[in-house]
Amino acid sequence: MSTTNDRIVVVGAGVSGLAIARELAPDHDVIVLDKGGIAADTSSRASGMISLSLEPFPDEWASFALSQFRDLDGQGIFSFTERETVRLVPAANADLYTDQAPGGGNFFTRSELEGRYPDSFSDLSAYGGGLVYDGTGSLDALDYAMTLKWAAERAGAEVFRDHEVTDLRVEDGTVTGVETEYGRIDADHVVYATGWKTRELLAEYVEIPVRPLRWNAVVIEPDEPLPTDCPMGSEPTLRVYWRPTDRGNVLVGGNEHLLSDPEGTPMGVEPSFRERVVEDVAPLLSGVASGEVRREDCCPTADCASPDGRPVIDTPEEGPDGLTVVTGLHGRGVMLSPVTGRAVRSLITGETPPFPLVQFRLDRFDDRSAEFDYRSHWGPGEDSSVP
């Protein structure tokens, strides 16, 4: 258990690292170090879609994260826009649903969807309806990250970019700090929030089953801005999602797949994904089929997958005392960041969190190798492995 005078070094200034710093800074001496920029890697390219009610996570995670986004709305430069989310249901599957949908959503027939969002959809002829969820929304990931940084620094944290951590310092089985390119920093606790690189960075101390994961996204500008009540949505057979942006455009993302060599794999949206978006997804939304693709994107190096699709947020028993790891966020780092921050605080301080932590434990994996297939979040029977 920590004391209020403990120094904590957080390695990684992405959204997770900044959320951790914000949680701990009010009563700890917190230093955040990143060898690059602030939220300059995967966090900066995140879709900003917050749809925890559709994810296979405990309800307590979703309710806590949503309350935190609502509380932070209007602080710094952050805003959280709440929108309903529609998961389209192919016509052949429509008879599987009644009014009540899985996970607290509601089923609406195609005609009911078109009446509920009269100016949003274009061609829904292939669908019998959709599952509509509330408690979802969107944010600008970079604005969010900078607001977390602002809040952490206001509480006393120090955040440094271009400051590489070169090693973890351990004496007699206990963390004593880190070595950096500029020298040694003493610390009582060290938190590694370093994505898929965590496996290699901590290989001397603990084996973590994670692999690099990449996804693609495109932004399309419609003929006319999408209506303000246009919902976010997803098409599970194509495994894509969309969300309207603040400028009236639409961001379409998906094509999650594992990488064997992310730093040696050229960046860029795969042509097959771009074609799928233009030919199959854009016609679903009003005015988007004839719109222009304004941006193509993917995470600069890679996101990070775990074997079961859930994060590792833990103080591993086999690791040195004082070490906490945050990795394997499986493309859900932004939406889970409030949970991540509070979970790490609970692990370090011994406080009781308002949600379960057992699903985060590293010891849930008997096999710690990185040779696993990608586990999709789209639903049962939809796991996939993409080379």
Q: pLDDT digits over 329-372, tens only?
A: 998 999 999 999 999 999 999 999 999 999 999 999 999 999 99
Supply the DSSP string of 78-132, one letter for each residue: ---EE--EEEEEEGGGGGG--SBPGGG-EEEEHHHHHHHSTTTBS--TTEEEEEE
Give, in degrees to the nearest 5, the angle at Cα 335 between 86 and 351: 135
Separation CA 118–CA 204 (nearest Å): 58
Please check whether residue 196 is in contact with residue 213, taking contact to mean a CB–CB distance below 8 angstroms. yes
Residue 302's pLDDT band, with cuts at 50, 70 and 90, is confident
What is residue 218's predicted lDDT score, i.e. its pLDDT?
94
Q: Where are the alpha helices (DSSP H) in 194-332?
A: 198-201, 271-276
With a cut of 80, say whether residue 379 has pLDDT above it: no
Tell me what the pLDDT averaged over the chain comes to. 91
β partners of residue 160: 33
Residue 1 scores a pLDDT above 70:
no
Q: Using 50, 70 and 90 to split pLDDT, how confident is the model at 145? A: very high
**DSSP-assigned letter for residue 63:** H
Region 94-111 average pLDDT: 78
Report domain extents, the chain: 7-50+141-210+306-364, 85-133+212-300
Is the per-residue pLDDT at 240 higher than 60? yes
DSSP state for residue 278 in the 8-state scheme: I
Q: What per-residue confidence (pLDDT) applies to 385? A: 35
Assigned CATH topology for domain 7-50+141-210+306-364: FAD/NAD(P)-binding domain (3.50.50)
pLDDT for residue 102: 59
Six token digits for residue 77:
């430069």
Distance CA 247, CA 219 (A): 11
Q: For 287-297, what is each residue's pLDDT tens digit?
A: 999 999 999 88
Give the residue-averaged pLDDT of 289-317. Answer: 91
* Per-residue model confidence (pLDDT) at position 101: 62
CATH superfamily for domain 85-133+212-300: D-Amino Acid Oxidase, subunit A, domain 2 (3.30.9.10)
Provide DSSP, 134-200: -S-EE--HHHHHHHHHHHHHHTT-EEESS--EEEEEEETTEEEEEEETTEEEE-SEEEE--GGGHHH
Closest by CA to 387, choosing from 136, 213, 158, is 213
- For residue range 63-87, list pLDDT tens digits in order: 999 999 999 999 999 999 999 999 9
Is it the case that residue 104 has pLDDT exceeding 90? no
For 195-213, what is each residue's pLDDT tens digit? 999 999 999 999 999 999 9
State residue 338 phi and psi, 5-degree precision: -60, -40
Measured CA to CA, the distance from residue 131 to residue 142 in angstroms comes to 30
Q: What tokens appear for 37 in the block?
A: 């920029």
Instruction: Please state, for a pLDDT cut of 90, what percent of the chain lies above it.
Output: 78
Q: What is the rounded distance in angstroms from the CA atom of residue 248 to the CA atom of residue 180? A: 44
- Three-class SS of residue 214? strand
- Region 172-200: what's the mean pLDDT? 97
Instruction: Compute the average pLDDT of residues 87-95.
Output: 88
Spatial contact of 6 and 29, defined as CB atoms under 8 Å apart: yes
Structure token pair of residue 382: 């939809």
* CA 321 – CA 200 distance, rounded (Å): 19
**Kindly report the CA angle at 244 between 12 and 214, in degrees rounded to 5?**
40
**How far, in Å, are 110, 217, 245, 348, 361 from residue 81 at the CA level?**
25, 20, 10, 32, 32
* Residue 193 in this model has a pLDDT that exceeds 50: yes
